[in-house]
Structure 1
Amino acid sequence: MATEKRMSSSRKHSLKSCMLAVAKDLLDAEAVVKVGEREKYLADKCPPLELPYSKDELMELCKKLHQQVDDGEEERYSIEFKLNMVVNEVRDLNIKIIDLRGKFKRPKLKKVRMSADAMLKALLGSKHTVNMDLRSNLKQVKKEVKEEDKQLRDVGDWRKNIEDKSDRKKMFDS
């Protein structure tokens, strides 16, 4: 490796300019060929239009042109359909290639101790100030105790209730 001679910068520059000139000539020749092919195709598919003078001949010409337009649309549709099929097939093959390469190694994630406020501040940016103290945002509701509920809770001694009910039972028995 040490015995190899390096190419001088002027030599590199001259070779690069020669390569670019050859590439430019090739591109120009390719463009001329494409223009010639396009003109030939258009001459074949679209002959010069000769307009007839009678109404019947004009109707025939219109029907012929409509048929050509329909044929062109059918051809375009079939080419689009084939193209979509090929694109889907290429996508499926790419997925298969990725699957065949094997499973990806998942990187080990580090635990980060961060409060919810700090996390939201990092996600939303420093402009937003977010408080996660949700209890402070809640309304205070005072519970009203109804008198009926109070009476049900303050039943008192159960033996007194039984004695009262036994008097009623005697009343029904007699």
Structure 2
Amino acid sequence: MSEGNNGQPRKSKVTIARKIHLKSLMLVNASKQLEKEKSERDNEKNRMLNECVPQFNTSSLSVQELQKICKQFHQKIDNVDAERYDAEVKVSKNAKEIESLNQKILDLKGKFKRPTLRRVRVSADEMLGALAETTCKTSLDLRSNLKSVRKEEEKEPVEVHDWRKNVEAKSGMKGRKKIFDTGAAPQ
């Protein structure tokens, strides 16, 4: 509550009984509106059914005419099912596209969903012990993984051969190198 000029809380001008009465009037009004909306929906539904589904008398029709009408209804049902399936596929495709675009937006903004973390109760001594163990292990592991370097005495220089000298002997190309060198097309 807000305070008045003299530091005391201001009293509400509306009494509790008046508030309860107003709430009950609002609930009565809302229930009347809900009933009105329900009746409007029912009327609209009946009107659409009368427009879309024609009334006809089946007692005076022959078997062939009834079969023809059934086939027409089956065709309409198939068309409606195909449209419904297409709509569902479009909706799912759009939902996937929206999700991927939202993910791209999050990636571009640099805001990532953070996983929920569980609280773990660890005493200070256990935390220090775990920290000390990990630091010791890593330092020992690093030292053991280092390669030993020893200076070797001057070695004899290694002979470097020209690889092009022995191409024909080692390649097994049987004269194809000459065709390649001359630029002639193989036959």
TM-score of the two chains, using structure 1 as the length reference: 0.51
1:66 counterpart residue number: 74
Q: Alpha carbons of 1:2 and 1:102: their partners in 2 closer, same or farther (altered >3 Å)?
A: same
List aligned pairs for 1:13-52, cutoff 5 A. 13-51=20-58, 52=60
Tell me the C-alpha RMSD between the 2 structures. 3.4
AA at the equivalent of 2:52: K
List aligned pairs for 1:92-131, cutoff 5 A. 92=100, 95=103, 100=109, 102-103=111-112, 112=122, 113=126
Q: Alpha carbons of 1:45 and 1:19: their partners in 2 closer, same or farther (altered >3 Å)?
A: same
AA at the equivalent of 1:32: S
Q: Deviations over 1:16-42 (max 9, x none)?
A: 112111211111111111111111121
SS state of the match for residue 75, structure 2? helix
Unaligned runs of 5+ in 2: 5-9, 128-187
TM-score of the two chains, using structure 2 as the length reference: 0.48
List aligned pairs for 1:149-168, cutoff 5 A. none
Q: Say which is worse superposed, 72-81 or 98-107, in terms of deviation.
A: 98-107
Aligned-partner Cα distance in 1 for 2:22–2:48: 39
Aligned-partner Cα distance in 2 for 1:20–1:60: 54
Q: Alpha carbons of 1:111 and 1:65: their partners in 2 closer, same or farther (altered >3 Å)?
A: closer
Q: Deviations over 1:79-102 (max 9, x none)?
A: 222332343345446546665483
1:54 counterpart residue number: 62
Unaligned runs of 5+ in 1: 115-174
Tell me by how many angstroms 1:78 deviates. 2.2
Aligned-partner Cα distance in 1 for 2:39–2:32: 11
Q: Alpha carbons of 1:25 and 1:111: their partners in 2 closer, same or farther (altered >3 Å)?
A: closer
Q: Alpha carbons of 1:81 and 1:19: their partners in 2 closer, same or farther (altered >3 Å)?
A: same
Q: Which has the higher helix share?
A: 1
SS state of the match for residue 2, structure 1? coil
Aligned-partner Cα distance in 2 for 1:15–1:97: 47
AA at the equivalent of 1:2: E
Percent sequence identity over matched residues?
A: 31
Aligned-partner Cα distance in 2 for 1:96–1:9: 53
Work out which of the two has the higher radius of gyration on C-alpha atoms and give 1 or 2.
Answer: 1
Aligned-partner Cα distance in 1 for 2:70–2:120: 74
Structure of higher RCO (CA pairs closer than 8 Å, 6+ residues apart): 1
How many residues align? The count is 114
SS state of the match for residue 18, structure 2? helix
